[in-house]
Amino acid sequence: MVNAISPSGYEHCAAAVWKAYAKPFADRVETDVHGNSHALINKGGKVKVMLAGHYDEIGFLISHIDDKGFLWITPIGGWDPQIAQGQRVDIIGNGGKIIRGAVGKIAIHLQEAEQRKKVSEIKDLWVDIGVKDKTEAEKLVSIGDPLVIQYGFEELQNGRAVGRAFDDRAGAFAILEAGRLLAKMNTQCEVHVVATVQEEIGLRGARTAAFGIEPDVGIAVDVTFATDHPNIGTVINQEGKVDLGGGPVITRGPNINPRLFDLMIETAKAEKIPVQIVAEARGTGTDANAIQLNRAGVATALISIPLRYMHSPCELLSLDDLEAVSKLLAAVVAKITPKTNFIPF
């Protein structure tokens, strides 16, 4: 799923992988008109629980094809522009065929002194797919075709992995794995496991999915900044101390229902799952924010996976953290009954 080319609004490749994994254990698997994929577990349970993780990623769209066949691009989501230059890309071209290309810019030898001091903006970069002219390019690609940096999944040392789009394919996988575990457990909840779309451009999929499901409880899974690498400086004072391999990160603050937070901490202790806690004084900027504000309000929580190098092609996480998130999610949901009180005070 990490290798699927699925930027916001074009999630169909990731959706195909996600749904294929869900079908053997879910009561029902479907995709809504917005593109959210939805696996239902224990249909008819007395408490509706929504688990959400977004499977869109940052990427680009082709905005213009010039007369020489060079492709000009516009970003989807939040990009650090210095990352894009000099990269290879994969484009979903005409008929769904994958077209390879390279991001071009003026070589440093040819730049003026002032140009060398500045990071090139994305609007000044182009994609070269090796064609001779616009006519040849248009046989392969079209305006609005999506593209991503050409990086895939690889395992490193000590159970760590690197790849593109762990933000938030990791979360979309974690909730689905939790659903698989819950399908074997005794739960009084009707569990709606939802891989959401378009989070990177405004939490859009979670908003529409939550409105349709109308859950009693919502738990979002996303990634968060690991603060254990060099040059983090004083950021740790605001973001908190988060270690890769230190376990799931549980957020506390206004976006989080306090009773649900307490249940998660109690469950983690009972299951001997190490967790880390961070504070967020506002809406979290994740699907948890959209879910909490659905209809008349939802008891909401956020579990995060520590991640290094976010919004780059080489995002890095611990597979142990990923597994622990799924186990914690399943254990928490298994404890929820119709008698569980989420009124905060």
- Write out the catalytic residue numbers: 199
Residue 108, pLDDT above cutoff 90: no
Q: Are strands 189-196 and 47-54 parallel, antiparallel or unpaired?
A: parallel
Q: Residue 345: inside a domain, yes or no?
A: no
Note whether 186 and 203 are same-domain residues. yes
Percent share of the chain, pLDDT over 90: 91
Which one of 149, 180, 207 terminates a domain?
149
pLDDT at 159: 97
User: What is the tens place of the pLDDT at every residue in 153-187?
Assistant: 999 999 999 999 999 999 999 999 999 999 999 99
- The whole-chain average pLDDT of the chain stands at 96
- Same domain? 65 vs 38: no
Asked whether residue 51 carries a pLDDT value surpassing 90, the answer given is yes
Determine what percent of the chain is predicted with pLDDT higher than 70.
100
> What pLDDT does 238 receive?
87
Whether residue 299 is contained in a domain is answered as: yes
Q: How far is CA 60 from the centre of its chain?
A: 16
Note whether residue 6 is domain-resident: no
Least trusted range by pLDDT, from 78-82, 194-198, 226-230, 340-344: 78-82
Task: State how many domains the chain has.
Answer: 2
- Phi and psi angles of residue 184, each rounded to the nearest 5 degrees, phi first: -100, -5
Strands, sheet with 154-155, edge to edge from the N-terminal-most edge strand: 154-155, 160-163, 315-318
**DSSP strand E in 85-178: where?**
88-92, 98-104, 126-128, 146-149, 154-155, 160-163
- Under 8 Å between Cβ of 78 and 126: no
Same domain, 186 and 63: no
Same-domain pairing of 130 and 19: no
CATH number at residue 257: 3.40.630.10
Q: pLDDT at position 251, please? A: 98
37 and 63 together in one domain:
no
Q: What is the CATH number of the domain that holds 89?
A: 2.40.30.40
Q: Collect all residues with Cβ–Cβ distance below 8 Å to 19 and sequence separation of at least 6.
A: 29, 31, 37, 39
Verify that 67 and 125 share a domain, yes or no. Answer: yes
Query: Containing domain of residue 281, as a range?
Result: 12-57+164-335
Name residue 144's amino acid.
G
Residue 280 has pLDDT above 90, yes or no: yes
Q: Is the bond leading into 66 cis (omega within 30 degrees of zero)?
A: no
Within a domain: 202: yes
Those residues whose C-beta lies under 8 Å from the C-beta of residue 178, and which sit 6 or more positions away, are: 51, 193, 325, 326, 327, 329, 330, 333
* Residue at a domain's end among 117, 149, 181: 149
301: in domain: yes
Tell me how far apart the terminal alpha carbons of the chain are, to the nearest angstrom: 41
106 — pLDDT class (breaks 50, 70, 90): confident
Of 149, 173, 196, the last residue of a domain is 149
330: Cβ contacts below 8 Å, ≥ 6 apart: 178, 181, 182, 185
Q: Which whole number is the average pLDDT over 70-79?
A: 96
Are 221 and 316 contained in the same domain? yes
- Considering the domain architecture, whether residues 52 and 65 belong to the same structural domain is answered as no
Residue 115 predicted with pLDDT over 90: no
Q: Using CB atoms within 10 A of its CB, is residue 24 exposed (0-12), middle (13-18) or buried (19+)?
A: exposed
Q: Same domain for 109 and 141?
A: yes
The reply to whether 248 falls in a domain is yes
Residue pLDDT, tens place only, 208-228: 999 999 999 999 999 999 999
For residue 2, tell me if it sits in a domain.
no
Of the candidates 180, 241, 189, 186, the residue with the CA atom closest to the CA atom of residue 213 = 189
Give the pTM. Answer: 0.94
- Say yes or no: 49 and 72 in one domain: no
Q: Judge whether residue 105 has pLDDT over 90.
A: no
- pLDDT of res. 107: 83
Rounded to the nearest 5 degrees, what angle is found at the Cα of 166, between the Cα atoms of 162 and 167? 140
Q: What is the mean pLDDT of residues 232-252?
A: 94
Q: Looking at the structure, do residues 289 and 196 belong to the same domain, yes or no?
A: yes
Other C-beta atoms within 10 Å of 225: how many? 20
Over residues 186-213, the mean pLDDT reads 97
In a domain, 156, yes or no: no
What does the pLDDT look like over 246-266, one tens digit per residue? 999 999 999 999 999 999 999
Confidence label for 117 from pLDDT (cuts 50, 70 and 90): confident
Contacts by 269-272, CB closer than 8 A, 24 or more apart: 270/331, 271/327, 271/328, 271/331
Task: Work out the pLDDT band at 112, boundaries 50, 70, 90.
Answer: confident
- pLDDT band for 327, please (50, 70, 90 cuts): very high
Helix (H, G, I), strand (E, B) or coil at 235: helix
Site of tokens 């940052």: 58
| pLDDT score at 233 | 87
Nearest residue to 55 (alpha-carbon basis) of 206, 229, 241, 177: 206
The reply to whether 41 and 187 lie within a common domain is yes
Q: Which two tokens stand for residue 184?
A: 């074997």
